[in-house]
Copies of this chain bind each other. A is one copy, B any other.
Amino acid sequence: MVIVADNIHIMNPMVAKAIRDLDPEPIKDIAGRCEDAVAEIIDINPGPLPKNGEKGMAFLVEAVQEVTNLRLSLDTGNPENLEAGLRACQRKPIINGFSLEPRKLKEILPLAVEFQTDIVGFLLSPDGQVPSNSEERLDIALRLVEEAERAGVSLERLIIDPIVVPIIWEDGCRQAKEVLSTLKLLPELLGFAVSTIVGLSNLTSGSPCQRKRLLLEEVYLSMLAESGLNMALLNVFHKRTVKVARICDSIIGSRIFSWAEI
């Protein structure tokens, strides 16, 4: 499982302040620690960036690239900010991402073609809503594939995000199960081994207790791996979660198991 660090996120007050001050040091520090924590990709989520968004996104990309050669994932729905980030990238990043929302199809998806990047496709309805079950997710996946092909994105560049929702939602447990079903059914439905990603921390949004959050995330990550998930966006500073991903790779994938590693 490819581990994508979600640590450079606007919700982290240090990141927010660094963007405001255009101070690269805190960003470089986090990025370096992400690499040390064996992240393979670093996601950059600057939030909506109401002011100087393009400058802010380029600043973040440049700061991260000062300390690491890791691949980046540009996590924004703003096409102008995204394009500024893409232009600042020294290596091909991932665009995270597009959906069936008309504006995303029109303004985000073509950037994946122009910059020849991989792109995450969210299984959301055209009005940005979370599907209610696996069947709806699979239907949306088919339409995303169609849209990607029509735009000229080759399918090996597509990464599907089935959308994990908070477990505290009224139907949160059922949705967690529907995501697992979706992952299991996607390859057969699409006829190819599509890459998949989820944002793990979405599951535990709104919980005040870190210990409980981590335990729930670890259990669900194990189930996701067993269901075929390829990539996980998670906090790489949570060491036990990273160990769980390693164990999953040994049982499900081809990683050699080592007691020393966990």
CA distance A209 to B248 in the complex (A): 19
Q: Provide the residues of chain B in CB contact with A262, threshold 8 Å.
A: 212, 215-216
With beta carbons under 8 angstroms apart, the residue of B219, B244, B250, B252 that contacts A251 is: B219
B226→A251 contact, CB < 8 A: no
Residues B218 and A259 in contact, CB atoms below 8 Å apart: no
A34 surroundings in chain B (CB, below 8 A) = none
- Cβ–Cβ < 8 Å partners of A176 in chain B: 251
Q: Do A257 and B172 contact each other (CB < 8 Å), given the known contacts A180-B226, A219-B222, A244-B219?
A: yes
Chain B residue with minimal CB distance to A222? Answer: B222
Residues of B within 8 A of A167 (CB): 250, 257
Once the chains bind, are A251 and B177 in contact (CB under 8 Å)? yes
Whether a CB of chain B sits under 8 angstroms from the CB of A240 is: yes
Task: Give the residues from 217 to 262 in chain A that come closer than 8 angstroms, CB to CB, to chain B.
Answer: 218-220, 222-223, 225-227, 240, 243-244, 247-248, 250-252, 256-257, 259, 262
Are B222 and A243 neighbours in the complex by a CB distance under 8 Å? no
Partner of A259, one of B177, B180, B207, B244: B207
Tell whether A142 is near chain B: CB-to-CB under 8 Å. no
Residue of B nearest to A252 (CB): B177
> Ordered nearest first, which 7 A-B pairs have the shortest CB separation?
A222-B222, A223-B226, A219-B222, A219-B247, A226-B226, A176-B251, A173-B257
Q: A220-B247, A223-B225 are in contact. List 16 more A-B contacts (CB 8 A).
A: A167-B250, A172-B257, A173-B257, A176-B251, A180-B251, A212-B262, A215-B244, A215-B247, A215-B262, A216-B247, A218-B222, A219-B222, A219-B248, A220-B222, A222-B226, A226-B227
